[in-house]
Amino acid sequence: QRRTTRREQMALRLSRVLRGSVVAGGVAYTPGSKQRFPLPPGGYTCEETRPKLFIPGPIEFSPEVLHAYSRGARAHTDATIIEEFGQSIEMLRECFLTKDGQPFILSGSGAMGWDAVAVNLLQPGDKGLVLASGHFSDRFIDCFVQYKSDITIIDAPRPGARPDNAEVEKALSDAVKNGKPYKIITITGVDTSTAVLADLQKLCEITRAVSPSTLIVVDAVCSAIGEELRMDEWGIDFVHTASQKAIGVPAGLGIMIASQRCMASLPSKDKIPSSFINLQNWLPIMEAYENRKPSYFATPATNTIGALRVGLDQILATPGGVEGYFKQHRDCAHIVRGELAGMGLELLTESSDIASNLLSCVRYPEGKKATEVLPEMKKKGWIVAAGLHPKCANEYFRIGHMAYSTSGRVNYLERLLLDLRTVIGR
C-alpha cells in the first residue's frame, strides 16, 4: 500500500480543521465569521480543486506566465527588469499595430485609464463626446463627472445594442459647425457588462472625416489585442487597457498607448491635475526603460512586468502573430456561439455580429435563475460571471473566453460547455 506524502498528510489535516465550514473547491469560508482558517498558498489545497476562471477577467493564465510571475523578488533597477520592461514597451507597439505610439505601463487597474484620459486629455474649456454601450461606459462617464469635465453622452438605445453611428456623426458635425469641435471622442471597445463590440473602424472613419482634430480614445480594457484594433491604420490616438484579460497576465498593470499626435497635445506637467497618472511624469521613465536605462518615479510591479513580457511574447508567437491572435479568438467565439445556440440559449447582444469574440452574455433559459446556474457551475469546477447591467442583471450570465483558454493547449472551454448543458438541462 502506497504511503501518503507529507503534502497529502497536510491536506488531510487541513480538511479536518475546515470541517463544518463552507468548503468550495478546497477553500473554507464561514459566512459572517471573522475566524481565520489556515488556507494553503493560493487558497486551494491543489490546482485540481481550484475552480477554473471563465469570467471576463481575470482569466486563466498560461503556466509560463505564472512561472514568470512567481519568480523571486527583483529591484526595479535590476538589469533583467529593465530589459523586460524595455521589451514589453516594444512588443506593445507590435500588438497594437503602431510604429511610433508611446506605451505607458503603470501599476494599477484598467479603471485608472479613465482618470488618465480625464486629467491628461481634457483641459478646462475642452469638450468630450462619450459613447456608452453598458455599465463600464457609464463608469467612464462617472469619472468625467468627478473631474467636472464638459462631456456629451450618446447612449445605446437598450442593453445589448450599439450607439447609433448616424447620431455620432451628427454630434461631431454640429460641434464643428458651431466652431467648438470635440477635443476627444471616447469609444468602449467592448463593454464587459453587455459584450457589445464597438463598430470601431467605422467610428474612426466617421471621426476622421467629420472632425479631424478630435482625438480618438478607446477604452480597450476588455478588448485589447483579442479584438481587432489597428492603431495607426485607423487613426486611433489613445488606448487604455489592463493586463488581466486578453493580454493574459495577472491583474495589476494599467497599460496605455498614445499616438504622437496625442502626445503633442498634452499640456505641460504643471497643468495636469494629478501626480501619479500625469503622463508627463511617466514619459521620461518609459523612454529610459526602452533605452535600457534605470529610472524612477514610482516603484513598478516588477513581478507583473516579468509576466507581461512572457505574455506578450506568447501573443506574438501565435501562428500569424497578432493577426493570428485575433483569428484565434474569432474562431473560439464561433465555436462557443454554436454550442450555445445548440442548447437553445440566446445572447444579450442584439446579434452575434455585434458581440465580442472575448466573452458571451447569455440569457438564462426559461425557468432558470442565477441561483440555479452559477452555484451549480461552480460545483462542477467553473466560475462564470453574473449579469452586471443594472437594467437586466438578473436576466443573463457571462462567460469569458480569451487568452490561454482559447489557445488549444487546454480543453477547459469544451468541458465547461458540456457541464453547462447538464446544468441547464439541455
User: Phi-psi bin for 90: left (phi > 0), alpha (psi -120 to 50), beta?
Assistant: alpha
Taking only the tens of pLDDT, the chain with its 426 residues reads 555 566 555 544 444 433 334 444 444 555 566 666 667 778 887 888 899 999 999 999 999 999 999 999 999 999 999 999 999 999 999 999 999 999 999 999 999 999 999 999 999 999 999 999 999 999 999 999 999 999 999 999 999 999 999 999 999 999 999 999 999 999 999 999 999 999 999 999 999 999 999 999 999 999 999 999 999 999 999 999 999 999 999 999 999 999 999 999 999 999 999 999 999 999 999 999 999 999 999 999 999 999 999 999 999 999 999 999 999 999 999 999 999 999 999 999 999 999 999 999 999 999 999 999 999 999 999 999 999 999 999 999 999 999 999 999 999 999 999 999 999 987
Q: Is 372 strand, coil or helix?
A: helix
Closest listed residue to residue 222, CA positions, set 52, 358, 96, 319: 358
Q: What are phi and psi of 89, to 5 degrees?
A: -60, -45
| pLDDT of 39 | 74
| pLDDT of 24 | 44
Closest listed residue to residue 298, CA positions, set 94, 87, 76: 76
Burial class (CB in 10 A: 0-12, 13-18, 19+), 23: middle
Angle between helices 79-95 and 279-290 (to 10 degrees): 110
